[in-house]
Amino acid sequence: MGNRSSVTIGLEAVSVQVDDAGSPRRILGPVSLELTERVIAVVGANGSGKSTLLRLIAGLVEPTSGEVTFSPQVPRTGFIFANPQAQLIMPVVGEDIEFSLKDSVTDRAERRRRAAVILESVGLGDRRDSSVYQLSSGERQKVALAGVLAAEPELVLADEPTTLLDLRAATEFQQRLMRLEVPLLIATHDLDFAAGAERVLVFDNGQVVADDEPAAAIAHYRRLALREAGS
């Protein structure tokens, strides 16, 4: 099975503050967490801080105070965005994957071969020469995943990776993510998806308000959401 235990993510009293029209606003924290499970889901209302947490861990956002730590070392991290168009770089499917392999594989023919294998693994073996613009959203999402996999990540962060997908594509994509043998931290509004995680964090207003096994955490989130809808 996966080697999740080889990456532990630590957040020690981490806060993120932003400048909101001249006055400081805390959008996350303080949050302290130790993340060791292989599949962790992050749920919570719009604006509750889920993407900020992922971006912090990816190093795209710096904490205003506190510290993000990794052990035994900072992992090679793949980030899957909600909008795959944002992360596809090349206009042709195969070229995009080959581009992701550029650093690790110097031989061009070998890059082509590896890209073909990776595309096959996400069910796009026959789309290597397709334009990324002609793909459906789901296919594009799969190309984005293939590009992330090509870089052989030791940690995958996914920010609502299935919001553009139909039920079948979302289910397939989820299964593919779950089968990855790398630790996965995923922000999602899809509670069925979250239910398949080992641990679920519930965010509210920049804070972790529940941190539990899926059933208990999701029940907490439902109560919270329904209370707010009713008030």
CB 88 within 8 A of CB 96: yes
Tokens of 80: 């899957």
Q: Give the span between the Cα atoms of 22 and 129, in whole angstroms.
A: 49
Give Cα 54 distance to the centre of its chain: 7
Binding mask 4-43 for ligand ATP (x = CB under 6 A): --------------x-x------x----------------
If the CB atoms of residues 124 and 202 are measured against ligand ATP, the closer one turns out to be: 202
Q: Give the span between the Cα atoms of 71 and 69, in whole angstroms.
A: 7
Q: Give the span between the Cα atoms of 227 and 191, in whole angstroms.
A: 18
Q: With binding defined as CB under 6 A, does residue 49 bind ligand ATP? A: yes
Interaction partner, residue 23 (Mg ion, ligand ATP, none; CB < 5-8 Å by kind): none
Tokens of 85: 């168009």
Interaction partner, residue 91 (ligand ATP, Mg ion, none; CB < 5-8 Å by kind): none
CB of 75 to ligand ATP, least distance (A): 21
Q: With binding defined as CB under 6 A, does residue 51 bind ligand ATP? A: yes
* Chain residues that interact with ligand ATP, rule: CB under 6 A: 18, 20, 27, 44, 46-52
